[in-house]
Amino acid sequence: MHSEADDIKKHVRTYWMIGGALYVFTVITVAVNQIHLALPFAVTLALIVASMKGYMVASVFMHLNHEKKWIYGSLLLTVAFFIVLMSIPLFTVMDSIGTDIVQEVPAGSAHPGAGAPAH
């Protein structure tokens, strides 16, 4: 038991450090965002940073760095299906024989895609 308390004490330091790191990363993303990068690059960067933050939260705060095999197993399965889920956009547009019909813009709205003002 004694070692557990020590362990926790050690962990507490890590928690604060991770908290700090998460703040720093947030500042970095926002700062990078202020210098407007090309979109594909910005997306990649933002997602990489977000994934790193996510990794820190999951592994340290949620103790995923040392969990039991049933939890890893369930999450592995979830990740597999999550990947399938994230491939839906690809499946929907990449291999379609249909082509978009670009409609004449109806009177009163700016873009059919988005940003049309309400009235």
Please check whether residue 55 is in contact with residue 12, taking contact to mean a CB–CB distance below 8 angstroms.
Answer: no
HSE-up of residue 57 (Cα within 13 Å, Cβ side):
9
Q: Please count the residues of this chain forming the interface with another protein, following the rule CB under 8 A.
A: 72
Q: Does 35 bind another protein (CB under 8 A)?
A: no
- Of 29, 36, 80, give the one whose Cα is nearest residue 54: 29
Residue with token string 């926002």:
30
Alpha carbon of residue 73 to chain centroid:
21
Which residues neighbour 66 within 8 Å (Cβ) at sequence distance 6 or greater?
Answer: none
Binding letters toward another protein, positions 64-103, x by CB under 8 A: ----xxxx--xx-xx--xx-xxx-xx-xxxxxxxxxxxxx
Among 2, 5, 38, 65, the residue binding another protein under the rule CB under 8 A is: 5
* 118 forms part of the interface with another protein (CB under 8 A): yes
Give the nearest distance from C-beta 37 to another protein in angstroms.
10
Q: Closer to another protein at the Cβ: 65 or 96?
A: 96
> Per CB under 8 A, does 41 bind another protein?
no
